[in-house]
Amino acid sequence: MSTRTFHVTVVGAVAALACLLAGSAAAANAPEAMITGVTPMQAMIGQTITVSGENLNGTRSVTIGGQTVSSFAVDPAGRWVKAIVPSSVSPGAATVVLDVDNTDYSTGPITIQPGSVTPQPLPHEAAGGGNSGSHGSAPPTVGGGISAKLAPRITLFSPAAGRVGSKVMVYGSHFTGVTWVKLGGIRASFSVLSPSRLSVIVPKRAHSGKLSVHASGGTGVSTHTFRVVATPAV
């Protein structure tokens, strides 16, 4: 009885060891993922970026600028991963990281620009978002049919100083649809003269500070400070 029990125990141990070695060999022989590039290098919230490479079909999650991507699609052949830039990403440089079979692979950084676009469906993306492992053509990018909402950009203003009630001309771009203008944090009256030109009145209680222009695509802030000149006493 004892000899038979010992034999069964040894056989079981050998079988377990064989399975362990086979699993280790399979993991060792698994092709390693590789990232070869990311496009576009400049994107806005809602826009789709494409990470190209090899053996990316094991992608479990994607982050952009440290923020988790809720909508991404993976090519079953492992040649690309498409991800929609989430609204939580801040403008500026952002690294893209793929978790492929519990190993992180990074690329970039790409530049996240102020503003947003309407997200386009990913290849065969199910309603409600989420990732997909289906083939499909790339969605259109900015310039290919997406209506972009760009943040106003202030290039310069003139004069550089003025009294309360005086007029300031602000020059830049994307001024169409401006909803408010602030000077030193105080709301000011303004007129949109063109997509690149604003007329602003220095408001009461104004103090020296930067100009801010807001539209649906975001807020543009001047690089330089406007100086409010005190009204002389009568």
Residue 20 confidence (pLDDT): 52
In degrees rounded to 5, what are phi and psi of residue 150? -95, 140
CA dihedral 27, 108, 144, 220 (to 10 degrees): 140
CA-to-CA distance for 40 and 172, rounded, in angstroms? 25
Q: Among 144, 149, 153, which residue's Cα sits nearest to residue 45? A: 149
Residue 4 confidence (pLDDT): 52
Could you tell me which residues come within 8 angstroms of residue 13 by beta carbon, excluding any fewer than 6 positions away? none
In contact, 189 and 201? CB cutoff 8 Å: yes
Give this prediction's pTM: 0.49
Residue 18 confidence (pLDDT): 53
Residue 136 confidence (pLDDT): 37
Q: Mind listing the domains of the chain with CATH numbers?
A: 34-145 (2.60.40.10), 153-228 (2.60.40.10)
Could you tell me which residues come within 8 angstroms of residue 233 by beta carbon, excluding any fewer than 6 positions away? none
The token pair at 213 is: 């222009």
The token pair at 119 is: 């997200």
Q: What is the mean pLDDT of each run of 10 residues along the chain (234 residues)?
A: 49 51 50 86 89 90 90 88 90 90 87 84 51 38 46 90 94 90 93 92 92 87 91 64
Residue 165 confidence (pLDDT): 93
Helix-then-strand count for the chain, H and E:
1, 19
CA-to-CA distance for 227 and 142, rounded, in angstroms? 38
Residue 191 confidence (pLDDT): 94
Cis peptide upstream of residue 123 (ω within 30 degrees of 0)? no
Residue 6 confidence (pLDDT): 45
CA-to-CA distance for 151 and 220, rounded, in angstroms? 6
Q: For residue 146, what is the DSSP state?
A: B
